[in-house]
Structures are given as structure tokens and as C-alpha cells.
């Protein structure tokens, strides 16, 4: 199976990382956003991310140009015709994603794999709005996509062996990440465990046991985590963490998934983390701690 062109629908935190990683691996990327202006903004963010790598001597200006030249903003219906795989990574909203899958199913050939990067939603439910549920699969990347070498490959009830095999080949041979097979379940493995970790850290904070800074230091230094739970939450997006916890609380019905009140307050106040310049900590426009 030769894969040259991949569609990415949604270019926020994850879509930008996925598009950058795919282009870096030499693939052509067709990028779909809500509007041309939004797509340009996402491309600018990708350029900023590449500039940061140049600053660290990890990339040259010529490589940056090459990577950017492989990413093309396109229109949803006409732009994805030549893609072998389409990865949907829009906002975590079931109805919105269902509309996108209906549209993708109509506009892409039946042998094109339709993957979703959803963290908590049911692939079987997304597949149910298509005429070809066997080609729908989960490809769950971990933030930051460029640096994290893992993809959870999630099988829905009707995902075919062929779709799974092609996806595994794509993940392990083409983009060279470790693929872990997961059966559909809210939060899969990574979101389920990491969101519980963040939620428990929030309870520790609420109880006044330690400050956010000290809780992060304890986990980072004590257990060699790259980031502590609060910086992790800021980088994932507090809205994304809240949405994942609420979904798992609804689906599993267990109190351990009930989101902390502090998290809800922060989201209501619009303090969503790195993408809004502040969450538990403050960040500059490049996403570094201010």
C-alpha cells in the first residue's frame, strides 16, 4: 500500500501537530479548516512551531520551506479526492463529528480509510452514519504529536481487518510510530489514565495539600515525568480535559471520573491553557512558560 497524500480535517492543537508530522515524513497533506482564514492561521502556527525547531538547530530554513510546501489548505468536498487516508481531528463534539463523517463518506472513494483522532467518542457511533462502517477506525495521537511516538489504533465494532491492517502499516511503517491496538472504550488507554491522574492532582490542589507548581515539581522530579499534571493539562487544553472527564463520567457512571470544580471554573473563565496564554501557568505566544 503506497500512501502519498493524507487529509487532515481540523487544524487546532492536534491537527497542526499531525499535519506538521506528516509533512515532515514526506507526505502531502490536504488541510481542511472551518474557513480559509482559520486555515491560514493554523499554517502560521505550524510555521511558528518549525521556527522553534530551527532555533534549537533541529531543522534548517530549507527543510522548513519543504515541510510547509507539502501542506495545502483545501475545501472539504473537493480537496480530499486523492487522499488515501483522511484523519478527522476537529473539536470533540459527537454531532459535529457525525456530520463530518457523513460528508467524508459521500466524498471519498470507499477504499479510503476514514480515521478519527477522537479521545473519548465511539468509533462505532461515528461509523454508523456512513455507508461503509468497515473503513472507519480510530487513530489516537498523543500530544505533542511530533515528539510522542505512540498511536492508539482503535477498532470499532465494524472496523474490518483490512482497515486495521492498512492503518497499522501506515502507523508503523510510514510515519514510524508505535501502534497499540485498543478495542473501543471511552478514553481508550491513554486518555482514561492521564485524565484520572490530572483530576486527582486537582483534588490535591483543592484540598490545599500543595501548590500547582509544587505538585508538578514533585511528579516531574520524583518520577521523571516530562511535565507535571498541571502543565500537561495546560498543554492538552483544559476544555479538552474537562470534555474527556465529563464523557467518561457519563459513560462509566463512576464518581472517580467526576471533573474537579476548579477545572470547570477555569474553563468557564476561558483559561484554557497554552492556547489562550494561560491556564494553571502563563505562556508566551510560542507556548513557552512565561
Q: Residues marked as binding for CoA?
A: 49, 56, 119
Choice between 30 and 92, CB closer to ligand NAD: 92
- Dist CA 155 CA 289 (whole Å): 37
When the beta carbons of 141 and 164 are compared against ligand NAD, the nearer one is 141
Instruction: Rule CB under 6 A: choose which of 13, 45, 49, 130 binds ligand NAD.
Output: 13
Q: Mention every residue, 6+ apart, whose C-beta is less than 8 A from residue 106.
A: none
User: Which residue's beta carbon is nearest to the bound ligand NAD?
Assistant: 12
Total residues interacting with ligand NAD, rule: CB under 6 A: 26
Q: Whose Cβ is closer to ligand NAD: residue 9's or residue 175's?
A: 9
Which of 1, 4, 26, 34 is in the footprint of ligand NAD by CB under 6 A?
34
Where do the DSSP E strands lie in the chain? 5-9, 28-32, 71-73, 85-88, 113-116, 136-141, 150-155, 178-183
Stretch that binds ligand NAD, among 129-137, 138-146, 147-155, 263-271 (CB under 6 A): 138-146
Query: If binding is defined by CB under 6 A, does position 194 make contact with ligand NAD?
Result: no
Only one residue has cell 501502534, namely 179
The answer to whether the beta carbons of residues 256 and 196 sit under 8 Å apart is yes
CA distance 162 to 153: 13
> Which residues have C-beta within 8 Å of that of residue 61, sequence separation ≥ 6?
54
Q: Residue 140's beta-bridge partner residues?
A: 152
Stretch near ligand NAD under the rule CB under 6 A, chosen from 4-12, 54-62, 161-169, 200-208: 4-12
CB 194 within 8 A of CB 219: no
Whether residue 76 contacts residue 30, with contact meaning beta carbons closer than 8 Å, is answered with: no
Smallest gap from residue 196 Cβ to ligand NAD (A): 15
In the window 196-255, what residues touch ligand NAD (CB under 6 A)? 236-237, 240
Q: Which of 7, 23, 30, 33 binds ligand NAD (CB under 6 A)?
A: 33
Residue at grid coordinates 499531525: 18
Contact region with ligand NAD (CB under 6 A), list: 140-148, 166-174, 201-209, 262-270? 140-148
Burial of 110 (0-12, 13-18, 19+ CB in 10 A): exposed
| The three grid cell numbers given for residue 65, joined into one nine-digit string | 520551506
Collapsing DSSP to helix, strand or coil, 219 comes out as: helix
- Residue 10 as a binder of ligand NAD (CB under 6 A): the answer is yes
Residue 119 or 163: the one with the smaller Cβ distance to ligand NAD is 119
Residue 9 engages ligand NAD in binding (rule: CB under 6 A): yes
Q: How far is the CB of 207 from ligand NAD (least distance, A)?
A: 26
Give the one residue of 141, 170, 188, 280 binding ligand NAD; rule: CB under 6 A. 141
CA nearest to 187, candidates 152, 146, 226:
152
Among 12, 79, 277, 278, which residue sits at the site for ligand NAD (rule: CB under 6 A)?
12
Decide if 50 contacts 67 (C-beta within 8 A): yes
Shortest Cβ 9–ligand NAD spacing (Å): 5
Per CB under 6 A, residues contacting ligand NAD are 9-15, 32-34, 38, 89-92, 96, 100, 117-119, 140-141, 143, 236-237, 240
Amino acid at each position: 500500500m503506497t500512501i502519498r497524500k493524507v487529509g487532515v480535517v481540523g487544524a487546532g492543537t492536534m491537527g497542526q501537530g499531525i499535519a506538521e508530522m506528516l509533512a515532515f515524513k514526506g507526505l502531502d497533506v490536504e488541510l481542511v479548516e472551518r474557513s480559509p482564514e482559520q486555515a491560514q492561521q493554523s499554517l502560521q502556527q505550524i510555521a511558528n512551531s518549525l521556527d522553534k525547531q530551527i532555533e534549537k538547530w533541529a531543522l534548517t530554513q530549507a527543510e522548513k520551506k519543504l515541510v510547509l510546501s507539502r501542506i495545502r489548505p483545501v475545501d472539504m468536498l473537493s480537496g480530499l479526492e486523492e487522499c488515501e487516508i483522511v484523519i478527522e481531528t476537529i473539536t470533540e463534539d459527537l454531532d459535529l463529528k457525525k456530520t463530518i463523517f457523513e460528508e467524508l463518506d459521500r466524498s471519498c472513494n470507499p477504499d479510503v480509510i476514514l480515521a478519527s483522532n477522537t479521545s473519548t467518542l465511539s468509533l462505532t457511533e461515528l461509523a454508523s452514519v456512513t455507508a461503509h462502517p468497515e473503513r472507519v477506525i480510530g487513530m489516537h495521537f498523543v500530544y505533542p504529536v511530533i515528539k510522542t511516538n505512540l498511536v492508539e489504533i482503535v477498532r470499532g465494532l465494524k472496523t474490518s481487518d483490512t482497515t486495521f491492517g492498512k492503518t497499522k502499516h501506515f502507523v508503523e511503517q510510514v510515519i514510524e510510530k508505535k501502534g497499540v491496538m485498543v478495542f473501543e472504550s471511552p478514553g481508550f488507554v491513554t486518555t482514561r489514565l492521564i485524565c484520572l491522574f490530572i483530576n486527582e492532582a486537582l483534588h490535591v490542589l483543592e484540598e490545599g495539600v500543595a501548590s500547582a507548581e509544587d505538585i508538578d515539581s514533585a511528579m516531574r522530579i520524583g518520577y521523571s515525568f516530562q511535565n507535571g499534571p498541571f502543565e500537561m493539562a495546560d498543554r492538552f487544553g483544559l476544555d479538552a480535559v474537562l470534555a474527556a472527564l465529563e464523557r467518561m463520567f457519563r459513560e462509566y457512571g463512576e464518581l472517580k471520573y467526576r471533573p474537579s470544580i476548579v477545572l470547570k471554573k477555569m474553563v468557564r473563565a476561558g483559561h484554557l491553557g497554552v492556547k489562550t496564554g494561560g491556564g494553571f501557568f502563563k505562556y508566551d505566544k510560542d507556548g513557552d512558560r512565561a
